[in-house]
Structure 1
Amino acid sequence: MRGLLLGWVSVLACALSVAAAQASSEVSLAGVPVADNERYLAEARRVVAAAERSAIAWSGPRDGPRAQSGKRIAVVAEDLRNGGILGVIDGLVEAAKIIGWSATIFDAAGAPDLRLKMLSNALASRPDGLVLVGGDAHALTAGLQPFAERGIPIVGWHVASRAGAVPGTPVAMNVSTDPLEVARVTALAAIVQSGGHAGVVIFTDSNFQVARDKSDEMAAVVRKCGACTLLEVRDIAISRCEELMPGETSALLERYGKRWTYALAINDIYFDYAVPVLTEAAMPNAAMTMLSAGDGSESAFLRIRAGTFQTATVAEPLNLHGWQLIDEMNRLLARQRVTDYVFPVHLVTAANLATDGGAQLRYDPANGYRDIYRRIWQGP
């Protein structure tokens, strides 16, 4: 195995055949001349470069209801071991202190049998509002319905495949970037970095619709690249990454050898447990490139900064999303509409990692969102 891995090389030459993620329409590249393929590669580079821009200006709300005083909210977290979930809750707790609310956290620890129990415990705490962080709103509808029956508003983070209200559930607002755009940018970045010649394995978790949608979109983009190869979409539960990823990584290396050059995942956590296997095998960093379609964990920032296999993550503005959850809840408690605001996609790479909170190993946009929310809550 060691001898095989040391012989791996990254191939960086080939024409790209993929429609850019932000193009107005899709174009089939089958049979397109090389010159046109190069044009599409240039367009893909433009899309990726746009996603890499720093200091994205605030485009969210600037007015709204004053703070509803003294509210108590229950927060049910899918799994506090997940860096994305933890980052959102950190921002939520920070914002709750500013608006003058108390927040009680209930951790389901990624265990199916604990999700409904934590919702029941949250309901028993008699909250004014419920925040669901992670999880699948549709799968949890039975546990959410008692909140709706009592008139308790519900907002969530990454609880559905789209931002906004979640049809068929009591969730009034799912705070998220656009998951499909996150997936497109991630796959396009891999194609650009490989020069259109990536051998790809995608890691997903079919327990969550948003994860399935992201991995499906990444797979679709890779398939449109004529010189790329989608080797496999591997379904591994996020909650079992520590247990399963080392063995799965070794098995994939044995199966695909030097054909596997790019790993894409719906969350950085997969790479936390894959990288040690590559390191133990003395695999050179250039032989495997990793890109994540979320969430921008501390470990991902460290890998990108050190140049250890991972080159990019489409980092969520986790702290900002925590503040947005509090603002959306405040609007509901004031009997106003949610904003439906969706923050733009941002690709973190070694070139821009030092900006927008990167020195603190997180993506925290330098656009003044904290002051803007404070002014909204404090009123004129």
Structure 2
Amino acid sequence: MKLTQFNFVTVALVFSLISSAFAQEDPTLFLNRANAKIAKAMAFKTSWDGPTSGPRIAAQKKSIILIASNLKNNSVLRVANGVKEAAAVAGWDVFVIDCWGVNSKHAEAFSRALALKPNGIVLAGIDANEQPKEMNAAHAQSVPVVGWHASTRIGPSDGLFTNVTADPKEEATIATLLGVVNSNGKAGVVVFTDPNSLYAQSKSNEVVAVVKQCRSCTLLSVEALPATTTADKMPALLTALAQRFGKKWTHIIGVNDNYLDLLATPAAAAIIASNKIEALSAGEGSESAYQRIRSKTVQLATVPEPFSLQGWQIVDELNRSFSGEQASAYTTPVYLVTEQNIAFHGGQLNTFEPNNGYRGEYKKIWGK
């Protein structure tokens, strides 16, 4: 799999096809913005840019229940582990309820959590809007709910004390722009998204919008594939897409790495290779994604999230709620991982682990 070097002159030319807002600018200003967009996404800062003040951890132990959409999902599992790690420092108890990827279990799990009378609840990968009755019950019991990917918006929203997430639109934008640059402005894109997730759909909608802004690119298809889609279904789908679009098809953009996991089987990978398709992800940053990028197999890039850091932030946000303070609404800037920068920020361990000292910073805030 080839990886186009990021020549900023080339980037500028491609970006002129992408954004009407950019195209209306002075060419020099446009070039500066185009250069900055790519460079910033690939060079994550090593200095802490999150909160530096907040309430100390109270002496009274707190009980937290984390409701996980599916602990078999790498991102959900790592966030849960981050919450446990941070809660141990705070001296809190954490109980996890796994919904096993079954949406119908969300309401039941939420009701079980409330029956245990916790001090706080975390919704990990579960849309808060889908649980209006349970959210109202939590408010009535004065139980704060912090979300992770529980809304398409960042910060306080949809009844949540706050929603911890990267900006899904920014993730989708960066991934799509990379696909456009990689194709020299002639991308033919098939998008894989989850029809059951508003968060995933917000990403795929942004991918579509960016592709359509590129005058010489083509949006070929948006494939609605539930998160429960199995790898054995992919060869037939890929074959049908290849027959339908032929050489026009150059790129697959998945809303997360799970979809690219489905492409890594020998049969699916052979179809991708024979049709010279490049695949990249608009989010997550799974271990398998890092391995594929490093080995130049199937996957070109990913836009990872710092799961452990987000777990620590969730604990910090809950502590702010317990203390009657406002949420920090902190979010990490978007980060793009390719073969060129995979060795940095946890890449050796196949994860995004920002080298910005976040654990020490949160401990300072908490007085730990």
Structure 2 length normalisation: TM-score? 0.90
Counterpart position of 1:3: none
SS in structure 1 of the partner of residue 192 of structure 2: strand
> Aligned to 1:16, which of 14, 35, 47?
14
Tell me the equivalent position of 2:51: 61
Question: How much does 1:110 deviate?
Answer: 1.7
Which is further off, 67-76 or 364-373?
67-76
2:86 to 95, 103, 127: 95
3-state SS of 1:341 partner: coil
Shift of 1:192: 1.1
Cα distance, 1:311 vs structure 2? 1.2
**1:314 alignment partner in structure 2:** 303
Letter of the 1:304 partner, please give it: I
Aligned partner of 1:122 in structure 2 is 113
Alignment RMSD (CA, Å): 2.8
- Does 1:193 find its partner at 2:193? no
Aligned mates of 1:280, 1:196 — CA distance in 2: 25
Query: Matched residues in 2 for 1:184 and 1:103: separation?
Result: 35
Q: Which amino acid is the alignment partner of residue 154 of structure 1?
A: V
**Structure 2 residue 234 is the aligned partner of structure 1 residue 239:** no
Q: 1:47 to 1:120 in 2, by over 3 A?
A: same
- Equivalent positions of 1:175-214 (< 5 A) are 175-214=164-203
CA distance in 2, matches of 1:129, 1:122: 9
One-letter amino acid matched to 2:84? V
CA distance in 1, matches of 2:226, 2:173: 22
Shift of 1:278: 3.0
Q: 1:267–1:292: 8 Å Cα contact kept in structure 2?
A: yes
Q: Distance in 2 between matches of 1:361 and 1:186?
A: 19
Cα deviation, 1:263-313, whole Å, max 9, x if unaligned, reads 1111100010123233244825x9121111111011110100101121111
Structure 1 contact 54–355 (Cα < 8 Å) conserved = no
Q: Which residue of 1 aligns with 2:70?
A: 79
Contact 2:15 2:34 in 1 (8 A): no
Please tell me whether residue 218 in structure 1 is matched to residue 180 in structure 2: no
Q: What amino acid is aligned across from residue 26 of structure 1 in structure 2?
A: A
Q: Mean alpha-carbon deviation: is it higher for 63-72 or for 326-335?
A: 63-72
> Which stretch of structure 1 is more off in the superposition, 362-371 or 347-356?
347-356
Decide whether the 8 Å contact of 2:18 with 2:215 is kept in 1: no
Runs of 4+ in 1 over 3 A off after TM superposition: 8-15, 17-21, 38-46, 241-247
Q: Aligned with 2:84: secondary structure?
A: helix
User: 2:346 pairs with 343, 352, 357, which one?
Assistant: 357
Residues 23-81 of structure 1 deviation map (CA, whole Å, 9 limit, x = unaligned): xx82568xx9xx97x99688545412210003442111111111133111000011112
Other structure's SS at 1:287 match:
coil
> Equivalents in 2 of 1:204, 1:323: separation in Å?
28
Q: Which residue of 2 aligns with 1:112?
A: 103
Determine which of 314, 317, 331 is the counterpart of 1:328: 317
* Conservation of the 8 A alpha-carbon contact between 1:17 and 1:227: no
Corresponding position: 1:26 with 2:21: yes
* Whole-angstrom CA distance in 1 between matches of 2:272 and 2:234: 18
Deviation for aligned residue 1:143? 2.4
| Matched residue SS, 2:280 | strand
Identify unmatched segments of 5+ residues in structure 2.
Answer: none
**Superposed, which structure 2 residues align to 1:258-337 within 5 Å?**
258-276=247-265, 277-281=267-271, 283=273, 287-337=276-326
Alignment partner of 2:245 out of 256, 261, 286: 256
Aligned to 1:147: 138
Q: 1:232 to 1:172 in 2, by over 3 A?
A: same
Letter in 2 for 1:135: I
Distance 2:76 2:147 in 1: 11
Contact 1:10 1:287 survives alignment (8 Å): no
Q: Tell me the CA shift for residue 82 of structure 1.
A: 1.4
Q: Over residues 129-165 of structure 1, what are the superposed CA-to-partner deviations in whole Å (9 max), with x where a residue is unaligned? A: 0000002111122222221111101101111111011
Distance 2:208 2:238 in 1: 19
Q: Secondary structure at the match of 1:326?
A: helix
Q: Compared with structure 1, are the counterparts of its residues 81 and 95 closer, same or farther at alpha carbon in structure 2 (3 Å cutoff)?
A: same
- Identical aligned pairs, as a percentage? 37
Give the whole-Å Cα distance in 2 for the aligned partners of 1:256 and 1:280.
Answer: 17
Contact between 2:260 and 2:280, CA under 8 Å: does it hold in 1?
Answer: no
Cα distance between partner residues in 1 of 2:18 and 2:52: 32
- Cα 1:106–1:9 change in 2 (3 A) is closer
For these two proteins, the number of residue pairs brought into alignment is 361
- 1:229-258 Cα shifts (integer Å, max 9, x gaps): 110111111133446444433332232233
Counterpart of 2:334 (choices 345, 357, 361) is: 345
Aligned pairs for 1:161-180 (under 5 A) are 161-167=152-158, 169=159, 171-180=160-169
Structure 1 spans left out of the alignment, 5+ residues = 1-7
1:5 corresponds in structure 2 to: none
